[in-house]
Structure 1
Amino acid sequence: MGDHHRTPHRTLLRDGLVIDTDPQPAVRPHTDVLVEDGRIAAVGTRLPVHDAQMIDAREMIVLPGFVDTHRHLWQTILRSAAVDASLDGYLSRILDRHARRLTPADVHTGNLLGALECLDAGVTTVQDFSHIQYTPEHSAAAVLALRTAGIRAVFGYGYPVFDEAARQADRVRRVRTEHFPSRDGLVTMALAPLGPSFAPIGTAREDWLLARELELPIAVHVHAGPVAQRPIAALQEAGLLGADTLYVHGNSLADPELKLIADSGGAMAITPAIEASMRFGPPMVGRLRRAGITTGLGADAVTSAPCDMFSQMRAALMSGHFEDGPDGGPDEGLPLTVPDVLRMATMGGATALGLDHAVGSLGIGKRADLLLLRADAVNLAPVVHDPIGAVVLAAHPGNIDTVLVEGRPVKRGGRLTHQGLGGVLTEARQVAERLREADAAAAAEAEE
């Protein structure tokens, strides 16, 4: 893939302010992190290391890369195209009108730009819920873009919402065989069906059985609505409930539904900024914590919300403060803290995606997916009183100096290392302008 995809044999991050996230976020000043062959080999003070590439981390905060558990990367070319839209408006404008116009080349551009945006903002792992799989060519383009970017990703093969003909099991099997012959690698696969909230339970059964036939995890939007008031119970009654499923949003689910998820070992992905702006329902953080459900954060759709994990952590924290406890008042028994949301953005997300063995913390032997923040940035300094609080409440993507994926620098000195960034930006602008012109032409035709 080119020289920028080669992993240095040994890299030492020297004398940083290290924040680990497992079992709980903890600060370790003046600490070294040694990376060997893409894995974390040692974490300690004054490590005696020779023949290593050195990164001076004396003015850096070092922590695990963020894990985004729910994002539609193809929509990056539609950034801010639905900022004031309701859910119905988003579905009509983005998933119906614009999605149908996108070619495989457009999807490649959107996915590549979106993946690079993730890396630039310190998101080293992303669940790409890719409900744009109109043709095998769309799928190939989306997967190629993820691999070209060099991000760790779970490619969620999703059916277009308004095209029933695109839901074809043989296409899913083909993608699994051609693009994911093994379950190892930087990019892996999941199935992202409509699920029991938006399709009959018989359809969900077919999709769940297909995923299990292909040994794929499942990611699914869930909502209590006209199709199923109790979608999780519907899965249980159909014998489909399992620990291999990541549920997304779920703001309208009743507490018994959450208990079923918890008992099954399933996990949740919440996107607090989108859930608030599109009015999906009350905040979820407190309810999920009380239910004991593993929870990760996500940006969801950059059509309507910010892309970075700093924004998602703050949205989760602030909305969680207003969430009622079990008695209708403030949740004094299980208050949400700043370390809690940092863990959701790292170890919680990794666990939700089934990747906690590989990423999410600085455990020895884990993949070296790391980010380094400039501790001397004017909006962070002095990082003395509460470094975890500084990361969650004060930092932004512009503070990120270095990002490593499996020990390989994908951002260094505040700049992405991807050689084709300028071309990607040009292509994205061209696609966006074409879509805008198509909208204008359609509006003019409607007025005639």
Structure 2
Amino acid sequence: MTSLFVRNGLLIDMEPDPATAGPGDVLVEDGVITATGPGLPEVAGAEVIDATGMIVMPGFVDTHRHTWQAGLRAAAPDISFGGYLGRVLGEFAPRYRPEDVYTGNLAGALECLDAGITTLVDWSHINLTPAHTDAIIESLRNAGIRAVLGYCYGGDGGPDGLTAEGHRVREELFGGAGGLLSMAVAAFGPEIVSEEQALREWRLARDLDVPVTAHMGGHGAEGAERGLAFLQDNGLLGPGTMFVHPNYYTADALRRIADGGGTGSVSPLVEAELGIGYPATGRARADGMPVGLGADTVACGPGDMFSLMRAAYVLERARPGGAGLGFTTRDVLRMATIEGAEVAGLAEVTGSLRPGKQADLVLLRVDGLGQAPVNDPIGTVVLAADTRSVDTVIVAGRVVKRGGRLLRHDLPSLRAALAESAACVTGRPGSGRTPTPVPAS
């Protein structure tokens, strides 16, 4: 048995609601939290991490990110949603080789860990070939992050190709139980593709016994209602479905989704920037829908949870007529941890310090001039901390970042590979290869 003893930190737990537990310890055995509290006896042979002066809390959960786009960071600022579709998905994505996907996905996953995000829902719409898919999964495994791969078929085999490749991925690459990686079907959904294709996406998820994550509710009020009616008419509205960008749903629609067991993912910065609806954060939660936060894309937004929490907090409290003034820092921290874990289908695995859960932990330094003094620990995390605060990150009891530095990866080489890949796929000078021509639309 391997043991880890996190000693004398300022504990913030999330169950039943975010609260400061005071100075205390966390004991981890074989990757699982076995005890928390003040003055725990140390276990002989345990690795000891001194958390004195630091906040100890569950790792953040990002419920929606196109991780492969790490090399496109800030490549499309000040852009509209249509511009994003044309430039990032229409121009850049077809140029990605499996090697580019591996490099981008690895860099994106490590970016998450570096910022204290220990769990990631990777909405992956770069599965152009089986080799691309294999590269994505290899990158996530090598990163050491807990991840749900949202598999979105990108081949040219039509619905039959979707079914065949979906089964291959599930059976060959996710056949074993347990581990850090799991699978979901990332469905385009009936607001984007034909109803026939949407049916095949949901049927595939049911055949594979995996959840669905779909971009639904962010394409206008008419499309939101039409798509939701399609799910209801076909018996597809139920547990295990994550609605990404659910901003155009009415209160009645949000209640129907929540009553059916659906969840929501909000990307507050990108949604506001791209014009895909005012974030439904407080409205959705008020109607009973669990809601998590997502970075979506670093092509036009930041990739850290501190930025997302602040954006969600400010945009919600700025709703007209004071409608969001009841939204608190505790609410947004809950969304970034245990509520995000619920949205990702992992609430029994991660998201809090409850004994029996996987030890996905973050230790935050709060001794900087921008954080000290700590008058309200939760307020400090949401309003004052940033990526520089992330001292130590632990995933399933394994230390992946210590003393402010990621471990076990050659970061200079990865950054160089990412820069070379980005130069090629964007057509900028600096790459030693010629960009793949983009097919005419």
Give the TM interval when normalised to the shorter protein. over 0.9
The SS at the match of 2:136 is: helix
Q: Residues of 2 paired with 1:323 and 1:182: CA distance?
A: 46
- What is the letter of the counterpart of residue 361 of structure 1? S
Q: Residues of 2 paired with 1:213 and 1:387: CA distance?
A: 45
TM-aligned CA deviation for residue 420 of structure 1: 2.2
- What is the letter of the counterpart of residue 153 of structure 2? Y
1:3 maps to what in 2?
none
TM-aligned CA deviation for residue 377 of structure 1: 2.0
- Aligned pair partner of 1:141 in 113, 131, 135: 135
Cα deviation, 1:196-233, whole Å, max 9, x if unaligned, reads 11112222111111110011110000134476643112
Q: Residues of 1 paired with 2:379 and 2:390: CA distance?
A: 16
Q: Is the 1:198–1:227 contact (alpha carbons within 8 Å) kept by the matching residues of 2?
A: no
2:385 maps to what in 1?
395
1:15 maps to what in 2?
8
Q: Residues of 2 paired with 1:114 and 1:21: CA distance?
A: 26
TM-aligned CA deviation for residue 356 of structure 1: 0.5
TM-score (norm 2): 0.93
Q: Residues of 2 paired with 1:274 and 1:100: CA distance?
A: 22
1:331 aligns with 2:327: no
2:51 maps to what in 1?
57
1:29 aligns with 2:22: yes
2:396 maps to what in 1?
406
Q: Percent identity?
A: 48
Q: Residues of 2 paired with 1:142 and 1:183: CA distance?
A: 19
1:40 aligns with 2:30: no
Could you tell which deviates more after superposition, 357-366 or 24-33?
24-33
Q: Residues of 2 paired with 1:419 and 1:207: CA distance?
A: 36
1:437 maps to what in 2?
427
2:216 maps to what in 1?
222
- What is the letter of the counterpart of residue 386 of structure 1? D
1:356 maps to what in 2?
347
The number of residue pairs the alignment matches comes to 429
2:271 maps to what in 1?
275
- What is the letter of the counterpart of residue 341 of structure 2? A
Q: Which runs of 5+ in 1 are unaligned?
A: 1-7
TM-score (norm 1): 0.92
For the structure 1 residues 148 and 365, does the alpha-carbon distance in structure 2 shift closer, same or farther, using more than 3 Å as the test? Answer: same
- What is the letter of the counterpart of residue 246 of structure 1? M
Q: Residues of 1 paired with 2:406 and 2:70: CA distance?
A: 17
TM-aligned CA deviation for residue 238 of structure 1: 1.2
For the structure 1 residues 362 and 291, does the alpha-carbon distance in structure 2 shift closer, same or farther, using more than 3 Å as the test? Answer: same
Q: Residues of 1 paired with 2:80 and 2:285: CA distance?
A: 28
Q: Residues of 2 paired with 1:150 and 1:189: CA distance?
A: 16
TM-aligned CA deviation for residue 375 of structure 1: 2.2
1:342 aligns with 2:333: yes
Q: Is the 1:367–1:407 contact (alpha carbons within 8 Å) kept by the matching residues of 2?
A: yes
Q: Is the 1:124–1:369 contact (alpha carbons within 8 Å) kept by the matching residues of 2?
A: yes
- What is the letter of the counterpart of residue 399 of structure 2? P
TM-aligned CA deviation for residue 281 of structure 1: 1.4
Q: Residues of 1 paired with 2:273 and 2:327: CA distance?
A: 21
The SS at the match of 2:87 is: helix
Q: Residues of 1 paired with 2:209 and 2:361: CA distance?
A: 29
TM-aligned CA deviation for residue 411 of structure 1: 0.3
TM-aligned CA deviation for residue 150 of structure 1: 0.3
**Where in structure 2 are the equivalents of 1:262-341 lying within 5 Å?**
262-324=258-320, 329-331=321-323, 335-341=326-332
Could you tell which deviates more after superposition, 197-206 or 289-298?
197-206
1:208 aligns with 2:198: no
Q: Residues of 2 paired with 1:312 and 1:323: CA distance?
A: 17
Cα deviation, 1:333-391, whole Å, max 9, x if unaligned, reads x81000000000000100011101010000001000000011212211111x2010000
Q: Is the 2:241–2:263 contact (alpha carbons within 8 Å) kept by the matching residues of 1?
A: yes
- What is the letter of the counterpart of residue 182 of structure 1? G
- What is the letter of the counterpart of residue 110 of structure 2? L
Q: Is the 2:245–2:267 contact (alpha carbons within 8 Å) kept by the matching residues of 1?
A: yes
Q: Residues of 2 paired with 1:73 and 1:250: CA distance?
A: 21
TM-aligned CA deviation for residue 146 of structure 1: 0.1
1:154 aligns with 2:145: no
**Where in structure 2 are the equivalents of 1:39-188 lying within 5 Å?**
39-51=32-44, 52-160=46-154, 165=158, 168-188=162-182
Q: Is the 2:63–2:120 contact (alpha carbons within 8 Å) kept by the matching residues of 1?
A: yes
Q: Is the 1:286–1:323 contact (alpha carbons within 8 Å) kept by the matching residues of 2?
A: no
1:246 aligns with 2:250: no
Q: Is the 2:216–2:224 contact (alpha carbons within 8 Å) kept by the matching residues of 1?
A: no
The SS at the match of 1:349 is: helix
CA RMSD of aligned residues (A): 2.0
Q: Which runs of 5+ in 2 are unaligned?
A: none
Q: Residues of 2 paired with 1:100 and 1:310: CA distance?
A: 32
Q: Residues of 2 paired with 1:286 and 1:358: CA distance?
A: 25
Q: Is the 2:3–2:43 contact (alpha carbons within 8 Å) kept by the matching residues of 1?
A: no
- What is the letter of the counterpart of residue 28 of structure 1? A
Q: Is the 2:366–2:385 contact (alpha carbons within 8 Å) kept by the matching residues of 1?
A: no
TM-aligned CA deviation for residue 421 of structure 1: 1.9
- What is the letter of the counterpart of residue 134 of structure 2? A
1:370 maps to what in 2?
361
Cα deviation, 1:218-254, whole Å, max 9, x if unaligned, reads 0000134476643112100111111110110021222
Cα deviation, 1:97-122, whole Å, max 9, x if unaligned, reads 10000001100001000000000000
- What is the letter of the counterpart of residue 389 of structure 2? N
TM-aligned CA deviation for residue 263 of structure 1: 1.1
Q: Residues of 2 paired with 1:14 and 1:250: CA distance?
A: 41
Q: Residues of 1 paired with 2:104 and 2:409: CA distance?
A: 17
Q: Is the 1:270–1:298 contact (alpha carbons within 8 Å) kept by the matching residues of 2?
A: yes
Q: Residues of 1 paired with 2:335 and 2:428: CA distance?
A: 40
The SS at the match of 2:178 is: coil
- What is the letter of the counterpart of residue 275 of structure 1? E
- What is the letter of the counterpart of residue 244 of structure 2? V
- Aligned pair partner of 2:254 in 254, 258, 261: 258
The SS at the match of 2:39 is: coil
For the structure 1 residues 359 and 228, does the alpha-carbon distance in structure 2 shift closer, same or farther, using more than 3 Å as the test? Answer: closer
Q: Is the 2:224–2:249 contact (alpha carbons within 8 Å) kept by the matching residues of 1?
A: no
The SS at the match of 1:131 is: strand
Q: Residues of 2 paired with 1:312 and 1:372: CA distance?
A: 19
